[in-house]
Amino acid sequence: MNIKKRVTLLLAALLVSGCATLPVSQYTVETYSLDPEITRELAKIKGLRYGIAVSKFTLSEDSDIALYCSNQHPITLPGGQSFVAYVHSALVEQLTAAGMTSSIEAADVALSGKLKTFKPLWQQDAWLIAFELSTNRGNETMRPTDIYSFTNANNVTHSENDCKRAAQAVMPAVQKMIMTIASSWHFKNNLLM
């Protein structure tokens, strides 16, 4: 058999076996960018003389983190970050932009967090995010939960477009969660003061 026939047979075998579809498409989340509205909301918080130190966030023991679209296509974060690191750095960036961060030694408050849930709700075309935030000031804990909807214009579940929209919606979903925290009476008055 000549080389041309061998190559043709090999390509045909790959197509039939499904190997030609590899590697699986990856959907990458945008790098976090500051939201000026969140910065303004955080800047309204008064009474912290030396700022907030933010410890690293962890996953809660009962965490529910989904990193896949339709259990086949990974949704990845910039620089290979974990969802926990992405959310932590987003909050730190927003607090820094508002002039509220400080070293752990000098801070008025040390904030720590656990990411409990970060997953798509495919039936609602939305991301579900749930946290647990606490401080070194006692027993106060805040448990914000937020849902951020993304559009499913073609009404086909788990299509490639849905996966792209889900990945594109991660950053605004995190921004919405941080705004929920920043504008919360509980965050401003119980957790920080």
Residue 5 lies in a domain: no
Residue 60, domain extent:
25-191
Residue 118 lies in a domain: yes
Residue 85 lies in a domain: yes
Residue 172 lies in a domain: yes
Residue 12 lies in a domain: no
Domain count along the chain: 1
Per-residue confidence in pLDDT tens, the chain, 193 aa: 555 554 344 444 434 433 333 344 478 899 999 999 999 999 888 778 888 999 989 998 878 787 777 666 788 889 888 889 999 999 999 999 999 998 888 888 889 999 999 988 888 889 999 999 998 877 678 999 999 998 754 454 556 677 888 899 999 999 999 999 999 988 888 777 6
Residue 11 lies in a domain: no
Query: Which ranges of the chain does DSSP label H, i.e. alpha helix?
Result: 3-17, 36-43, 83-97, 160-168, 170-182, 185
- Alpha carbon dihedral 72, 73, 78, 84, in 10-degree steps, equals -40
What pLDDT, on the 0 to 100 scale, is given for residue 10?
43
CATH number at residue 118: 3.40.50.10610
Query: Each residue of 18-55: pLDDT tens digit?
Result: 333 334 447 889 999 999 999 999 988 877 888 899 99
Which residue do the tokens 């752990």 mark? 104
Residue 134 lies in a domain: yes
Residue 98 lies in a domain: yes
Residues 129/177, Cβ–Cβ less than 8 Å: yes
* Paired residues of 65 in beta bridges: 118
Cβ neighbors of 52 (< 8 A, separation 6 or more) are 95, 100, 101, 102, 107, 108, 109, 110, 111, 192
Residues 51/100, Cβ–Cβ less than 8 Å: yes
